[in-house]
Amino acid sequence: MNQPESDEGLFDHCPWLYAEQASQAQRAAQEQRRKRLLAGAEARVGAGAVRLGEGCFVAETAAVYPDRLDLGDRSYIAAHAYVTGDIRTGADCTVNPFTVVRGTVTLGDGVRVGAHSSLLGFNHGSAPDLPVHRQPVTSRGITIGDDVWIGSHVVVLDGVTIGDHCVIGAGAVVTKDLPAWTMAAGNPARRIRDRRDPRAAGPGGAAAGSAAPVGTAPCPTAPRPADTPALVEALSAFAGAARAQAVEVLDRCWRPDTRRFADRPGAEPTVRAHCDAVEIADLLLGEAPPQLPAAEHVARLRDLQDPATGLIPEYGAPPPVPGPAGVPDDGAAAYHLLCVGYALDLLGSSFAHPVHAVRRTTADRLVPHLAGLPWDDRAWHAGAWVDSWATAAHWNLRLGAEAAAPGALEALFGLLHTRVDRRTGMWGSPTPRDGHLQPVNGYYRLTRGSFAQFGLPVPYAERVIDTVLGHARDPRHFAPGRENACNVLDVIHPLWLCARQTNHRFEEARSWAAAQLTAALRRWHPGEGFAFGPAPDGTGPGRDPGLQGTEMWLAIIWLLADVVGVADALGYRPRGIHRPEPALPG
């Protein structure tokens, strides 16, 4: 419906209504506005200085005095905007009321700039020998990619590049480049999360606040080191080589005689090896391992589950016996609750049965079992048990069954909150022999299955960062040649997880991640994958390349790169056991 002729300010302030609601007289007035803009620019700068695409709108009250303006189709400049300099936009861009766009500014397609924002693609010098008004003006320019939403009252400074698909929260001051898909907020703007994270929300008010767990602060965008281009190039080259060699890596661990996967040549086939192969193929190939049709992978993994308990034995072993609180003490059977469940999930399937051994666990059986776990001297084992139990509860929820008996899941989180050490953020204590190795490694397993998997904030995140960074300097575990996949993963995941809640010591975490990332890329064995690495206690497959080491290091490299701020260069994102998003029930 056309608007009354007297409503002259409507489209200036709400230009998105112009295309459908303007009257013929209002369209004629806009055409005259266009002609005046073109004539004024020609008189000031020269012919061709302004180009307005099809369906554009420029408010009468906007101050538009550019050296060059190329406004893409269906774009608009709203009331009281101030536009000068060399401005180029793609199609469907919006400069909302009271916005300032000055200097050299380039927008991609579909960029929305909120009211009262400033894109300042120029700067003044600040040398002490001249007054400010006599300082030279410089311009490195601002570049904003496609499909970017900039909230109200945002300031973007000269020299900044904002990648495609970013969302910038209201009131942010953007001083550094933001990679594609970043959601950022704050002064200076810090990374909140990847926009593809299903928890992500918009940049305004309460919506932006709800994008992070309640009571938490955003994770910052990692400061980009001076060698970022070289690191990005190295990551891209690594990922390309890994993809090209992925089938070869899988083939060397495939046993045609048994039609099963082994971790490495000469090893016996295991359930975990099959699951590692599924994760590797998903990361590098985007499909099931080519050694079997996808449907056969699904059938083989589903058939492993014992229908009576829901537990998964090793090949050739009898059905596992449930422990007092459901999850057995058998390490392989407990880990199968993670790896088989996530392998099936990656293949678009799920367990055939609920994990009945956990579904029947009551709070009065769970709490004493948790209290009796070896927290003091074997915190990793305690954390691993919690990981397996919580993951089984998660799969039960995903299947539409009860996670456990009423109150058991709540009892788990209640006990974890009451037992955590406020000084360290850990569950468990250091030992004279290994320092914080057991508590830190146990922290990863415990929080992976509980807080991270269920999308809950961890307690005392800043103390966790202090403890983990201190542990990462322990030469017993992190001297050159001593790092293994388990120890590096168990540091970077807590740092990554806690950085979702606090900026505490983030630069130190980023520096550690950058150094580890460079070292990790050198560990790739062409055509063979990654070795797990040396383990003093004999755990893990050791120095020979295999499926477990490859699956773990691929995920570790993504986590390290994400903390550094260059994960996009890999072109993959973990979706299984090491997925960054919570695995909440659908």
Which residues are part of the catalytic machinery?
A: 124
Taken in order 309, 312, 315, 320, the sign of the CA dihedral is negative
Residue 225 DSSP code = P
Residues 6 or more apart from 393 whose CB is under 8 A from it? 355, 358, 403, 404, 408, 409, 412
**What is the residue type of 390?**
A
User: One-letter amino acid identity for 197?
Assistant: D
Q: How far apart are CA 294 and CA 300, in angstroms?
A: 10
DSSP 367-407: HHHHHTS-TTT-HHHHHHHHHHHHHHHHHHHHTTS-SSSTT
State how far the Cα of 278 lies from the Cα of 281, in Å rounded to an integer. Answer: 5
Q: Rg for the chain (alpha carbons), in Å?
A: 28
How far apart CA 492 and CA 468 sit, in angstroms, is 9
Closest alpha carbon to 478 in 464, 466, 492: 492
What letter does residue 347 receive in the DSSP assignment?
A: T
Q: Which residue do the tokens 């993670």 mark?
A: 338
Contact 383, 427 (CB under 8 A): yes
DSSP H or E stretch at residue 524: none
Helix-strand-coil split of the chain, %, nearest 5: 40, 15, 45
In 6-134 the beta strands, taken as DSSP E runs, fall at 50-52, 57-58, 63-71, 76-77, 82-88, 94-95, 100-107, 112-113, 118-121, 123-124
CA-closest candidate to residue 255, choices 266, 242, 239:
266
- What are the DSSP calls for 257-270, one per residue? TTTEEBSSTTSPB-
- What's the token pair of residue 553? 């290091």
DSSP 8-state secondary structure symbol assigned to residue 203: S
User: To which residue do tokens 């460079």 refer?
Assistant: 518
* Cα angle, residue 450 at apex, residues 269 and 446 outer, rounded to 5°: 65
Tell me which residue of 106, 123, 116 sits closest to 161, measured CA to CA. 106
- 24, 142, 156: which is closest to 87 by C-alpha? 142
Task: State how far the Cα of 495 lies from the Cα of 488, in Å rounded to an integer.
Answer: 11
Report the run of H or E that residue 584 belongs to, with start and end.
none
- Please report how the helices 485-498 and 506-521 are oriented relative to each other, as an axis angle in degrees rounded to 10: 150
